[in-house]
């Protein structure tokens, strides 16, 4: 039987990758141009314009990231059951695009939560089928570079999106320290153009795949059919994610340390630029040297970065740390998704990506709520201050790295033949 890569664009040689990988990468690029224009300003909009406190911001971000978790699992499983990835991916991108314009009108934290919920519903529908579409389209020897390229394109879009937002902020002469409502609304309007283009690119540019190998009965929505190594990996990921609160807290920490709004956007551009540059090489190297090693090293680096955020006393400290944080992201995010494909059967990839993303998403809620409470405190308890969430995150990341290093090496569970 022909491989997925041969079915769609001929045998992969060198860096030649199938059409689907490029279509998904361009879609993610355009989506992140749109999303990152907004997401990096949203914590500042909540804090500076609406006066929302950090505990509520933590709850909003946690609910937003966790709201899509069940949908990720159901959508991934459903894509396995019907044997199709593209329709669900296109639908998910479309739902997110429809939700974003409502940020122009919101004036309360409840309104922001509703829009973020709608956006995350779209993400929940699309993520697992999209990841499975990429995995189905390449053979095992190119899986790391395919996911690395996708991460690089996604993050390059973030660099462009933040750059556009920065130009809008500077052009409107928004306050040096705090964000204005008028500037935020202009960014919302500008974000709609790449969001619509992203949906069109995926709808017109991607082709449906068929899972390689012999078709078995539709997978059940449970962990029972997965290897023990995949279940172990999920547990370690959950432990790591408990200390991985929303990046909104990194932005607030940077402002707390003295960065202006343009400085925060410059910091996030640095982060995403490093992330984009590292993702593809890291994915390619993981194909050669093993993905588990990259994840262990990346989580250890995360522990060092979060410890640095806990101790930062000046804005430039957080800017420099964010650059290193981008290196961590580039080392791990695409590699982790390729690692999932290494651990599970071909016919259950959609379900596996749904379960993986659901595990991360569900854990994001308590992680962000805990971070917000540690920072702010509640009632008579004053909290430990801005350093506390980062100290906890550093410790949990180091523990997760040790546990992952102890995991039995994975034999490839699925080779597309």
Q: What DSSP string runs through 99-148?
A: HGGGGGT--SHHHHHHHHHHHHHHHHHHHHHHHHHHHHHS-GGGHHHHHH
User: Cα dihedral angle (123, 17, 195, 119), rounded to 10 degrees?
Assistant: 0
Q: 76 CB contacts (<8 Å, ≥6 apart)?
A: 127, 128, 129, 132, 349, 350, 351, 352, 353, 354, 355, 357
* Number of domains the chain contains: 1
Q: Which backbone phi and psi does 14 adopt, to 5 degrees? A: 60, -125
Between 278 and 376, the higher pLDDT residue: 278
How is residue 28 annotated by DSSP? H
Contact in structure between 134 and 20 (CB atoms under 8 Å): yes
Task: Tell me which range, 196-205, 245-254, 286-295, is most confidently predicted by mean pLDDT.
Answer: 196-205
Query: Is residue 110 assigned to a domain?
Result: yes
On the CB side of 365, CA atoms within 13 Å amount to 12
Query: Is residue 174 assigned to a domain?
Result: yes
Query: Is residue 157 assigned to a domain?
Result: yes
* pTM of the predicted structure, to 2 decimals: 0.73
Query: How confident is the model over 67-95, as a mean pLDDT?
Result: 86
Reported as a pLDDT band with limits 50, 70 and 90, residue 87 is very high
Measure the CA–CA gap between 237 and 401, rounded to whole angstroms: 10
Q: What residue numbers bound the domain in which 343 lies?
A: 18-211+224-405
pLDDT tens-digit map of 219-271: 555 566 677 888 899 999 999 999 988 888 898 899 888 888 889 889 999 99
Query: Is residue 301 assigned to a domain?
Result: yes
Q: Quick one: what percent of the chain has pLDDT higher than 70?
A: 87
Measure the CA–CA gap between 91 and 280, rounded to whole angstroms: 27
Query: Is residue 13 assigned to a domain?
Result: no
Residue 10 has pLDDT above 50, yes or no: no
Measure the CA–CA gap between 365 and 273, rounded to whole angstroms: 27
Residue 410 confidence (pLDDT): 54
Q: Of 51, 53, 46, which Cα lies nearest the Cα of 386?
A: 53
Q: Which backbone phi and psi does 381 adopt, to 5 degrees? A: -85, 120
Residue 221 confidence (pLDDT): 55
Residue 15 confidence (pLDDT): 55
Query: How confident is the model over 92-112, as a mean pLDDT?
Result: 93
Between 183 and 31, the higher pLDDT residue: 31
Query: Is residue 414 assigned to a domain?
Result: no
- Choice among 137-141, 161-165, 254-258 with the minimum mean pLDDT: 137-141
Task: Tell me which range, 103-112, 210-219, 299-308, 354-363, is most confidently predicted by mean pLDDT.
Answer: 299-308
Whole-number mean pLDDT of the chain?
83
Tokens for 197?
A: 């283009």
Residue 299 confidence (pLDDT): 95
Residue 333 has pLDDT above 60, yes or no: yes
Concatenated DSSP letters for 310-372? Answer: HH--SHHHHHHHHHHHHHHHHHHHHHHHHHHHHHS-GGGHHHHHHHHHHHHHHHHHHHHHHHH
Q: Return the residue matching tokens 């432990």.
A: 239
- Choice among 181-185, 264-268, 361-365 with the minimum mean pLDDT: 361-365
Residue 397 confidence (pLDDT): 95
Residue 412: count other Cβ atoms within 10 Å of its Cβ: 11
Residue 411 confidence (pLDDT): 53
Residue 383 has pLDDT above 80, yes or no: no
Tell me if residue 380 falls in helix, strand or coil: coil
Q: Of 109, 94, 100, 117, which Cα lies nearest the Cα of 190?
A: 100
Query: How confident is the model over 212-218, as a mean pLDDT?
Result: 50
Contact in structure between 23 and 202 (CB atoms under 8 Å): yes
Query: How confident is the model over 182-200, as a mean pLDDT?
Result: 94
How is residue 209 annotated by DSSP? -
Reported as a pLDDT band with limits 50, 70 and 90, residue 210 is low
Q: Quick one: what percent of the chain has pLDDT higher than 90?
A: 33
Tell me if residue 211 falls in helix, strand or coil: coil
Reported as a pLDDT band with limits 50, 70 and 90, residue 415 is very low
Q: Return the residue matching tokens 């980062």.
A: 390
Q: 55 CB contacts (<8 Å, ≥6 apart)?
A: 369, 372, 373, 375, 376, 378
Query: Is residue 1 assigned to a domain?
Result: no
Residue 378 has pLDDT above 80, yes or no: no
Contact in structure between 330 and 275 (CB atoms under 8 Å): yes
- Choice among 177-181, 259-263, 316-320 with the minimum mean pLDDT: 177-181
Measure the CA–CA gap between 299 and 301, rounded to whole angstroms: 5
Reported as a pLDDT band with limits 50, 70 and 90, residue 203 is very high
Measure the CA–CA gap between 355 and 70, rounded to whole angstroms: 9
Residue 67 confidence (pLDDT): 72
Query: Is residue 11 assigned to a domain?
Result: no
Residue 363: count other Cβ atoms within 10 Å of its Cβ: 22
Residue 412 confidence (pLDDT): 52
Tokens for 375?
A: 């920072």
Measure the CA–CA gap between 132 and 331, rounded to whole angstroms: 20
Residue 365 confidence (pLDDT): 80
Reported as a pLDDT band with limits 50, 70 and 90, residue 214 is very low
Residue 13 confidence (pLDDT): 40
Residue 138 confidence (pLDDT): 84
Q: In this structure, what CATH number is given to the domain that contains residue 127?
A: 1.20.1250.20
Reported as a pLDDT band with limits 50, 70 and 90, residue 287 is confident
381, β-bridge pairs: 378
């Amino acid at each position: 039987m022909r491989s997925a890569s041969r079915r769609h664009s001929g045998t992969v040689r060198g860096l030649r990758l199938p059409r689907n990988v490029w279509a998904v990468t361009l879609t993610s690029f355009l989506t992140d141009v749109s999303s990152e224009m907004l997401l990096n300003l949203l914590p500042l909009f909540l804090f500076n314009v609406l006066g929302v406190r950090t505990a509520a911001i933590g709850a909003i971000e946690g609910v937003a990231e966790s709201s899509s978790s069940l949908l990720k699992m159901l959508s991934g499983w459903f894509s396995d059951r019907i044997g199709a990835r593209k329709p669900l991916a296109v639908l998910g991108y479309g739902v997110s695009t429809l939700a974003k314009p409502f940020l122009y009108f919101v004036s309360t934290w409840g309104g922001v939560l509703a829009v973020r919920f709608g956006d995350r519903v779209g993400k929940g529908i699309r993520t697992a089928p999209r990841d499975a579409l990429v995995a189905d389209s390449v053979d095992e020897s190119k899986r790391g570079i395919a996911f690395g390229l996708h991460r690089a394109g996604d993050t390059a879009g973030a660099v462009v999106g933040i750059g556009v937002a920065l130009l809008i902020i500077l052009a409107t002469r928004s306050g040096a320290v705090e964000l204005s409502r008028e500037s935020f609304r202009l960014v919302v309007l500008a974000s709609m153009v790449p969001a619509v283009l992203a949906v069109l690119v995926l709808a017109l540019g991607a082709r449906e795949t068929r899972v390689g190998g012999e078709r078995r009965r539709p997978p059940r929505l449970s962990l029972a059919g997965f290897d023990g190594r995949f279940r172990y990996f999920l547990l370690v990921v959950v432990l790591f994610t408990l200390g991985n609160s929303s990046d909104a807290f990194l932005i607030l920490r940077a402002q707390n340390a003295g960065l202006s709004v343009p400085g925060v956007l410059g910091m996030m551009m640095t982060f995403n630029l490093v992330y984009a540059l590292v993702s593809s090489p890291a994915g390619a190297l993981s194909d050669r040297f093993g993905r588990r090693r990259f994840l262990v090293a990346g989580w250890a680096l995360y522990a060092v970065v979060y410890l640095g955020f806990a101790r930062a006393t000046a804005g430039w400290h957080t800017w420099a740390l964010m650059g290193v944080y981008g290196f961590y992201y580039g080392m791990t995010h695409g590699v982790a998704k390729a690692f999932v494909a290494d651990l599970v059967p071909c016919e259950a990839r959609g379900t596996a990506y749904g379960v993986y993303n659901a595990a991360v998403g569900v854990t994001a809620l308590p992680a962000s709520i805990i971070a917000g409470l540690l920072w702010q405190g509640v009632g008579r308890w004053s909290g430990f201050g801005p350093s506390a969430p980062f100290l906890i995150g550093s410790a949990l990341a180091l523990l997760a790295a040790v546990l992952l290093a102890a995991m039995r090496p994975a034999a490839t569970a699925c080779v597309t033949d």
